[in-house]
Amino acid sequence: MQIVKTAVAAALATLALSASAMTPIQDTELSAVSGQDGVSIAANLNIKMDSFVYTDTDALDANGMGGGSVSFNGIKVKGLIAASIDILSKNSFLAAAGAAGVTNPGTFYNPVSGGDVVQIAIPADVQVGAGKLLNISVDAIKMGNNAASFGSVAMNQVDLRGTQVWIWAH
């Protein structure tokens, strides 16, 4: 009886080990596997920069022209942005690029040998509360080291919904 119990225990242990063994999966089998697709990203932006300065490094000419700088001070970007990240096959990418108005993707993507593409998209159907889209402002625009300002600039309710960005290796 002890021999039978030992044989049954050995058979069950062997069965359990073989059932849990990891086996490689071929590409053809993997293509049939489905699951969640993509990654979503949402952000409530609150970006502030002290200044953006452009400096002309040209030497002064005989008329005193050249050189100088202009600064954009107190730059702010605020508002909501949501994006999804997906992997597109070559055919899906070519269809999406064509729908976006790209007439010759061969200038930057080879439509014959190109591979998969990462798409970052800001969905067109994202609902955003009133006044919550991106707002970009510059508090002051100044020349050189002058304290006086030419004024300010604001771009309000910048709507990026429907935007698509594609990334691929080459």
At 123, list the tokens: 């969905």
Contact 135, 78 (CB under 8 A): yes
Q: Note whether residue 8 is domain-resident.
A: no
How many other C-beta atoms can be found within 10 angstroms of the C-beta atom of residue 119?
A: 21
User: In which domain, by residue range, is 54 found?
Assistant: 44-167
Whether this model's pTM surpasses 0.75: no
Q: Note whether residue 84 is domain-resident.
A: yes
93 by Cβ neighbours in 10 Å (0-12 / 13-18 / 19+) ranks as buried
Q: Note whether residue 2 is domain-resident.
A: no
Provide the domain count of the chain.
1
Q: Note whether residue 88 is domain-resident.
A: yes
Q: Note whether residue 19 is domain-resident.
A: no
d(CA 139, CA 51): 10
Q: What is the pLDDT along the chain (170 residues), one digit of tens a residue?
A: 555 445 544 544 454 444 445 667 776 776 666 655 667 777 787 888 888 888 888 888 888 787 788 899 999 998 888 888 889 999 999 998 889 888 888 777 888 888 888 888 888 887 888 888 888 999 999 988 888 888 898 888 888 888 888 887 76
Q: Note whether residue 69 is domain-resident.
A: yes
Q: Note whether residue 1 is domain-resident.
A: no
